[in-house]
Amino acid sequence: MANKTAVETTLNGEETTFLCEPRQTLLEALRDELGLIGSKEGCGNGNCGACNVLLDGVLVNSCLVLAPEIEGRSVVTIEGIAEDGELHPLQQKFLEHASLQCGICTPGFIVSSKALLDENPNPTEHDVRLWLAGNLCRCTGYDKIVRAVLDVAQNNA
């Protein structure tokens, strides 16, 4: 059996050390070693965005990052988006706009949308659609997702 390595990282703002196999992806480590089940696997090869997390503030598919690669870096997952028990405005607007049906894509969309708004607080509809093209949703047709993100952006303005 493969030896495990220790990885030191900052996870959702907290210093964390965990053990993982070198062949495990960040997604597997989050879900299976750290109990953070909010990041989802829809494809395992970078095509759906359900596993998206922020790595040093940059949006990545956690299924395409090996867990040991996050050594010394900072990771934010869906579990770290709400702060001090308060939903993030994106989470609030996704609820109000009924932007989720089955909800499996939702963590990925919220993480991706946060990355967008961090970079561009006032996106156009086209900006939102272009940025979110890496996240697949099969339930909603995206209409209510795009509206929720635009609604948050409008309140930013």
Partner 1 sequence: MADTKHNGTAAYDLASNGKVDGDGTGQNGYKVIGTRPVRPDGVDKVTGRAVYAADVQMTGLLHGKILRSPHAHAHIRSIDTSKAEALPGVRAVVTAADLPVAEDKIEDLGEGAINLKYLSDNILAHEKALYHGHAVAAVAAISPHIAEEAVSLIDVDYDLLPAVMTVDDALADDAPILLDTLRTDAMGEIGAQPTNLASFFRHQRGDLDAAFADAHLVVERAFRTETVHQGYIEPQAATALYSADGQITIWTSTQGSFAVRGQVAEILKIPVSRLKVIPTEIGGGFGGKINVYVEPVAVLLSQKAGYEPVKIVMNRADVLAATGPTSGSNIRVKIAVDVNGKITAGLAELYYEAGAYPGSPVGAAANVSLAPYAIDNLQVDGYDIVVNRPRSAAYRAPGGTNAAFAVESVVDELAEKLGMDAADFRILNGAKEKDRRPDGVQYARIGQIETVQAIKNSRHYQTSLEGKYRGRGIASGYWNNWGGQSSATAALNPDGTVNLNEASTDIGGTRASISMQLAEALEIGYEQVKTRVVDTDTVAYNDVTGGSRTTFATGWAAYDLGQKLKQEMKRRLADVWDVSPQDVSYEDGIFYAGDESLPFVEAANVVQREEPLMASSTVHPQDFGPGFSTQCVDVEIDPETGKITILRYTIAQDVGKAIHPSYVEGQMQGGVAQGIGWAINEEYIYDDEGHLLNASLLDYRMPTALDLPMIDTILVEVPSPGHPYGVRGVGEVNIVPPAGAIANAVYDATGVRMDKLPISPANLLEAMWAKEAEAAGKPVPGDD
Residue ranges in contact with ligand FES by CB under 6 A: 41-44, 46-51, 61, 63, 100-105, 137-140
Cβ atoms 104, 89 nearer than 8 A: no
The two structure tokens encoding residue 127: 């900006």
Contact residue for partner 1 among 6, 19, 58, 130 (CB under 8 A) = 130
61 interface partner picked from partner 1, ligand FES, none, CB below 5 to 8 A per type: ligand FES
Nearest to 28 by CA among 41, 16, 15: 41
Q: Residue 5 forms beta bridges with which residues?
A: 20
Q: Is 11 helix (H, G, I), strand (E, B) or coil?
A: strand
Q: Residue 59 forms beta bridges with which residues?
A: 54
The rounded distance, in Å, linking the Cα atoms of 104 and 40 is 7
Contact residue for partner 1 among 13, 22, 103, 121 (CB under 8 A) = 103
Binding of partner 1 at residue 123 (CB under 8 A)? no
Contact residue for partner 1 among 120, 122, 124, 154 (CB under 8 A) = 154
76 interface partner picked from ligand FES, partner 1, none, CB below 5 to 8 A per type: none
122 interface partner picked from ligand FES, partner 1, none, CB below 5 to 8 A per type: none
